[in-house]
Amino acid sequence: VSFANEPYRDPDFTINFKAPFNAEPRQDVLVQQFITPTEKFYVRNHAPVPDINGESYALKVDGLVGNPLILSLSDIKNKFEKVTINASIQCAGNRRTMMSEYKKVRGVGWGIASLSTASWSGCRLKDILEYAKVFTKTEGALHAVFWGLDFGCPEDNGKPYGSSITMEKAMDLDGDVLLAYEMNGEPLPRDHGYPLRVIAPGIIGARSVKWLDKVTVSSQESESFFQRRDYKIFHNGVDWNNVEKYWDKTPSLQELSIQSAICIPAPNSTLYLPFTITGYATSGGGRKVERVDISLDGGETWDYAELMGEDKGVCNKYWSWVLFKYTITQLPQLQNKDHQKIRLVCRAWDSASNTQPKDVKDIWNLRGVMNNCWHFVDITVLN
Ligand code: MTE
Ligand code: MO
């Protein structure tokens, strides 16, 4: 495979892997706006970026449908209602580096910024599947299987990237699964899936297949490596010698869990009072982030952060992150001293009262996915 025809990228990205390209924005830049500017949106590729001609592009829809389809981009834009939603996309590998620091995992290392938020426009997957006369659940239509056009994934013997979601999610009007052709009001850029990608909000980024080639309705999950072997949380006794025994027994990740992180200040900063903590919080399944707790003493005592940019989708689904702030004007620990080292901690709670686990060791897993433990930042405060 050749990486000679990759698109232009923001020079300010933190590059976690060059080819295939994997990069996240600087964590302080990430929380400047509710909607991430397109060029700052994290990029997670598994193969070279395909260079697709939108004029000759065709989406195929087949499998358990009465009316298989081949649709051009203009068919998709003209035949189906255009829907716009704001949604965050988060990679299941977000915060993997921290998990690996506790005990080594395999996978691209990510800091805390492998998630971003955009406004996405396209048609509903549901509308396309209905147009294709999709079979019912009892007739076996249980999974919507997606294939990309990015041939050359080394993990899967050079096949393109692939993945699936449940038909329950795909056909839920309030599930808001889109086949998106616009990001922040412009045609999708190449890195984010031009000309058409899946946006499956509330579930791991891995299911939002870019450069969409085909949707197959099936009784089975995607056969792709990325559905069957990767993006699974194995228990902590699974290692590279016995993992094969656990591939089938371990469910594929779908909904995201509750997550938050402090983006400002950076670790090991030295600061004078007053200063402000800024971060993000997000949950899966459209659940609302109800609150974010902040601790200035490593998690002994807590206070509420102020939430900003709450963004409700249709029917009470919350697909976007919230940003939070907390300003520190006084620090009791600092009395009669010239400086004090403290540990800032955040943890979020969602509308199902899910909260983040305290220790990374309790959720450690071989692939380093879904690290959502308490996020902490050690700093020094000067008097
Ligand atoms: N789709 C294709 N075709 N190829 C890929 O490598 N990566 C997936 C998903 N869709 C991927 C893909 C993963 S793991 C994530 S986290 C998201 O795309 C990242 O989307 P982004 O690059 O637009 O941020
Ligand atoms: Mo991902």
CB 366 within 8 A of CB 233: no
The DSSP output letter for 92 is T
Topology classification of domain 14-246:
Sulfite Oxidase; Chain A, domain 2 (3.90.420)
Kindly state if the Cβ of 367 falls inside 6 Å of ligand 1. Answer: no
Kindly state if the Cβ of 46 falls inside 6 Å of ligand 1. Answer: yes
> Cα of 248 to ligand 2 centre, how many Å?
20
Q: Which residues pair with 134 in a beta bridge?
A: 65
> Cα of 66 to ligand 1 centre, how many Å?
30
312 pLDDT tier (thresholds 50, 70, 90): low
The mean predicted confidence, pLDDT, of the chain is 96
**What is the rounded distance in angstroms from the CA atom of residue 245 to the CA atom of residue 250?**
10
**Domain boundary assignment for the chain:** 14-246, 259-382
The DSSP output letter for 54 is T
Backbone angles phi, psi at 296, to 5 degrees: -105, 5
Distance of CA 202 to the CA centre of its chain: 8
Q: What is the pLDDT of residues 57-73, one digit of tens each?
A: 999 999 999 999 999 99
- The neighbourhood of ligand 2, an ion, using CB within 5 A, equals 44, 91, 205-206
Q: What single letter denotes the amino acid at residue 163? A: S
SS3 state of residue 176: coil
Closest ligand 1 atom number to CA of residue 211: 3
314 pLDDT tier (thresholds 50, 70, 90): low
CATH code of the domain made up of 259-382: 2.60.40.650
Provide the whole-model pTM: 0.97
